[in-house]
Amino acid sequence: MSYLREVEPAWCPGCGNFPLRMNLASTLEEMGVEKSHFIMVTGIGQAAKMPHYLDINFFNGLHGRSLPVAFAIKAVNPELTVIAESGDGDMYGEGGNHFIHGIRRNFDVTVLIHDNQIYGLTKGQGSPTTRKGQKTSSQLQGVINEPLNPLALAITMD
C-alpha cells in the first residue's frame, strides 16, 4: 500500500520538502496506518501542500488554522490518526495562538512543522524563526528581532 500520489510536486528542485514527503509516506506505510483511519490537516504555504502529493484523506484550509481543525476532527472522531502539518510561518506566526493552546490542551494529534525559517510560498519574507540579521525580501537591512525558540516555548507549556 503506497501513500504516494503520482503527481509532480510544485516545489523547487532541491527543496527539503521532497525527502520529508518520501519519509512521511514510508513511515505511514511501515506503521500500517489504515488510509480510511487517517487524515492530514494543513494550512497554507509550501509545506502545507504536502497532502496534495500523498494518497490520503486531507483538509487543506486557511493559513494558520490547521490546528483548530485538526483538534476538532480528533475530538469527534477519536479513532482517527490525525496529523497537522505546515510551515514555520503558518504554525508559529499566523497560527501561533493555536500552537500555544494546543500544547496546553494536549490533544492526541501529531504536529509536523517544516521550519525553513522563512515565508517560502510568498517569496521569502522573514518568519518568526528567521535569524536576527538575515536579509529577506521584506527586511532589506536584515531582521531586527531575535527569533522565536519553538522548542523552548513548547517545554514551558509542558
Ligand X SMILES: Cc1ncc(C[n+]2csc(CCOP(=O)(O)OP(=O)(O)O)c2C)c(N)n1
**Rounded to an integer, what distance in angstroms lies between the CA atom of residue 39 and that of residue 52?**
12
> Site map for Mg ion, 89-118, x if CB under 5 A?
x--------------------------x--
**Binding residues for ligand X, per CB under 6 A?**
44-47, 63, 86-90, 94, 114, 116, 118-122, 127
Q: Cite the beta strand spans of 26-97 per DSSP E.
A: 38-42, 57-60, 81-87
Chosen from Mg ion, ligand X, none, partner binding at 86 (C-beta under 5 to 8 Å by type): ligand X
The answer to whether residue 87 forms part of the interface with Mg ion (CB under 5 A) is yes
Residue 82 binds what, of ligand X, Mg ion, none (CB under 5 to 8 Å, by partner type)?
none
**Residue 113 contacts residue 105 (beta carbons within 8 Å):** no
Q: Which residue has the cell 477519536?
A: 78
